[in-house]
Chain A
Amino acid sequence: MYGRKVKLRFLFVVIIFITLILTVFLVLKSLEQNVVYFQSPSEIKSSVELNKSKIRIGGMVKKNSISINVKEISFIITDFKNEINVIYRGAVPNLFEEEKGVVAEGFLKDRNFLSATKILAKHDENYMPPEVKAALEEN
């Protein structure tokens, strides 16, 4: 027989161990579901399967592609090889301009069309989102 103290300590260790495993499991599980992947228009065009979950697309806003009405704004994101049409309802950031870098977050309807839920703000005029830069450099 083990003493009461040893049993208690053992119980304590087991509880800590279980909570630890549970924590790691919960975090990883949740991470899997809530991660947003970043892709360039070319990657989407060449993808075999259409991504159903929320994604981010980055590139340049094509010249003369912005149009607007009461409800929504539409524009084209290009990486100078391929293009994606974006329709967006929501607030635009200050530095959303034609021929400037942009990141749009939303759901793909098909390979040419994104319904955006968010357009990401940039913080100054020289700044280019690193994803966009990398995507443009690849081409």
Chain B
Amino acid sequence: MFYSSIGHYSLILGLCISLILIYFSVKNFKNSTILNTKILSFTFLQFFLVVISFICLIISFVLSDFSNETVFNNSHTTKPLFYKIAGTWGNHEGSLLLWLLVLTLFIFIFFLKTKNQPLKYKLLTLIFQQIIIIGFFLFLIETSNPFNYIYPMPEEGMGLNPILQDPALAIHPPILYLGYVGSSIIFSSALAATYLNIVSNVWASHIKKWIVVSWVFLTLGILLGSIWAYYELGWGGFWFWDPVENVSLMPWLALTTLLHCILVLEKKQVLTSWVIILSISTFTLSMCGTFLVRSGILNSVHTFANDPERGLFILVFLFSLICVSLFIFFFFHKSSQNNLNSFFWLSKETSIIINNWFMMYFLSVVLIGTIYPIFLDVLSSQKISVGPPFYHKLIIPFLIPFLIAMAIGPKLKWIKSNIVDKVYLILLLIISIVLSFLIVKKFDFNLLLNTILVSSALYLFFITLREFFIKKYSNISQNIAHFGFSLLILSILFNNLFSSEIITNLKVGETFTSSKTKIVFKSINQKKEKNYKSIIANFSIENLDGIIDNLSPELRIYNQPNIVTSEADIKTTLLSDKFIVINIVQNQDYFNVRYQVKPFMLWIWLSVILISFGGLISFFKKEYEK
């Protein structure tokens, strides 16, 4: 009761401070050239109030205060402490509060860290950011208040969905939000810079830091979600082109494009309009994702409650943000007129434009695949779904030129360039083709496509690898990221090519034998934990080489809420993952067993970490590129 009230009133105070801040900023904007120190203090105060509110919610969760509706709906006394805390942001209301927390934190950091920029620009960014913050405050207080009372107080809570009770999912939302919310700073700052007409290389190198930070967090956030889906959902894969995954991929694609594009602006004062459009669309896509997921239009583990009012609110909010930004873009943006903006066709600029083109293509494919079913449903009430074949067919062929351009592009110089090291480039291409042909040859299907795909990925791999040795680390971050990407594509390709799967139904004591594998279902034991019972199945699996693996997948029957989850048992080695998951079928003695050998699984995760590591290095480097 007590903590809920404190939390609730801090939120309302925080909202008031937004209004005060806007008032001061507008006054300061008109009159003075020196920053009003009150603004900084109020920004901090606002952040502080949201922190208090957030801590209150955590305390309510830890104390299992079921007079709080959010706690009642998402917690339970028997839940382990770690998940009581993590459960704070594992639900709709709490995750929005977290979003707000990051919003206020980022604008505070923005004020502390932004130097050498015009005061007007800082103030205007603050105003735009406060408009977004007000939107979220209103959304939170009006439609999804985390501090609603229940009277009389229930004895026991409803519990958290067990598949969310997982370490990866405890840190997935905060990391992802850091990326999403970072894009809001980029959005506000781009609008402010457009309004003041200071979109220049100085602005570009300042905002680049924010782009890199958001990008790193967004990448890691998506990675965590993917790892979780791999071992918790038991589908035995890392990406399913599920609409919910797609909505996080879309801002990532836009942000990655922006990350490349800002480099051109930084060097050459061209592509200004394009950078602004990308900044706007990155944030819009993040918001769109929130709308689609929160409104219940897309059904998934993220849909905590289907409430049309919430969806409508976000839709109206999103729509007005888009209108405001388009208005500012069309009325205040002056495209730069200078004589620097011509460049030769073979240059770094061209290669970045090529990158942009491909990224936009991938983005539109994902966008169409995600929203087309929604439109069709609204227009003709036909229900359809768009599956992986759609995405594979449209994306994979374009990966080939994309990878090759990615290999050669960074080697080019600005404005005008020649291709140097022609011998090496061709030699490496031949090596990659021969090597990939030898690898793929064993598999009859799609020989041509697979060879070309693997060889283009190998080509990028070799070229970036060679770069590590010959360059004096002048753009190491870019090289690491591209190297990581080649590794990612290679791992995904090998993973797809060499995966094998056995699905069968077995009783205890039975044995499944195929030409390559023998699966013995030895026994089951039971275990009782605090909030669930578990059935542990013991398998021993023997493959052709005579190696025997003992794997014990688990079924957990949670008591509150009463849900069965499968815990896969995965044996990870450098070269491949052995993955086994079981399921019971109601009223039957049989267990449904799924056994998979997934090569290079570990490398998929590692390469994504490597990619974001590249971004991290560029953040800490003072001078990115000569």
Contacts and interface: CB of A to CB of B under 8 A. Distances in A.
Given A27-B365, A73-B592, A125-B563, A36 B394 contact: no
B505 A71 contact: yes
Interface string A120-138: 0101110101110010000
Contacts of A27: 364-365, 368, 394
Given A31-B372, A98-B586, A36 B385 contact: yes
Contact of A30 (B394, B512, B561): B394
A37 B299 contact: no
A42 to B, nearest CB: 14
Contacts of B25: none
B504 A71 contact: yes
A31 B390 contact: yes
A93 to B, nearest CB: 7
B592 A124 contact: no
Contacts of A26: 394
A91 interface: yes
Contact of A124 (B506, B563, B587): B563
B238 interface: no
Interface string A50-70: 000000100000001011111
A96 interface: yes
Nearest to A26: B394
Interface in B559-606: 561-566, 581, 583, 585-588, 590, 592, 594
Contacts of B565: 94
A98 B590 CA distance: 15
Nearest to B589: A68
Secondary structure at the A interface, as helix, strand, loop or mixed, is loop
Given A23-B364, A70-B506, A124-B161, A34 B390 contact: yes
Given A66-B588, A73-B505, A124-B563, A130 B393 contact: no
Nearest to B587: A66
Interface string B532-563: 00000000000000000000000000000111
Interface in A1-60: 19, 23, 26-27, 30-31, 34-38, 56
A110 interface: no
B585 A73 contact: yes
B384 A37 contact: yes
Contacts of A31: 368-369, 372, 386, 390
A131 B383 contact: yes
A94 B563 contact: yes
A68 B233 contact: no
Interface residues of B, number: 48
Interface in A87-104: 89-98
Contacts of B564: 94-95
B390 A30 contact: yes
B387 interface: yes
Contacts of B382: 37
B343 to A, nearest CB: 12
Nearest to B386: A35
Majority SS of interface residues in chain B? mixed
B624 to A, nearest CB: 29
Interface string B297-326: 001110100000000000000000000000
Interface string B471-505: 00000000000000000000000000000000111
B361 A130 contact: no
B384 A125 contact: no
A129 B303 CA distance: 12
Nearest to B298: A130
B234 interface: yes
Given A66-B587, A94-B566, A34 B505 contact: no
Interface in B360-391: 361, 364-365, 368-369, 372, 382-387, 389-390
Contacts of A23: 361, 364
B150 to A, nearest CB: 18
Interface string B229-249: 000011110000000000000
Contacts of B385: 35-36, 38, 56
A130 B243 CA distance: 15
B59 interface: no
Contacts of B590: 68-70
Residue among A31, A70, A90, A130 with the highest chain B CB neighbour number at 10 A: A31
A100 to B, nearest CB: 9
A38 to B, nearest CB: 4
Contacts of B384: 35-38
B40 interface: no
A134 to B, nearest CB: 8
B567 to A, nearest CB: 11
A27 B393 CA distance: 9
B400 interface: no
A1 B505 CA distance: 76
B366 to A, nearest CB: 11
Contact of A91 (B301, B394, B562, B592): B592
Max count, chain B CB within 10 A of own CB: residue among A26, A70, A90, A92 = A92
B299 A127 contact: yes
B520 interface: no
A60 B62 CA distance: 39
Contact of A90 (B357, B368, B503): B503
Nearest to B591: A68
Contacts of A123: 161, 163, 299-301
A127 B300 CA distance: 9
A30 B300 CA distance: 25
A125 B561 contact: yes
Given A73-B505, A123-B163, A92 B592 contact: yes
Given A27-B365, A30-B393, A35-B390, 9 more contacts: A23-B361, A27-B394, A31-B390, A36-B386, A56-B383, A90-B594, A91-B235, A93-B583, A123-B161
Interface of B: 161, 163, 233-236, 299-301, 303, 357, 361, 364-365, 368-369, 372, 382-387, 389-390, 393-394, 503-506, 510, 512, 561-566, 581, 583, 585-588, 590, 592, 594
10 closest Cβ pairs, A-B complex: A38-B383, A34-B390, A91-B594, A123-B301, A68-B590, A34-B389, A35-B384, A68-B588, A36-B385, A92-B592
Interface of A: 19, 23, 26-27, 30-31, 34-38, 56, 64, 66-73, 89-98, 121, 123-125, 127, 129-131, 134
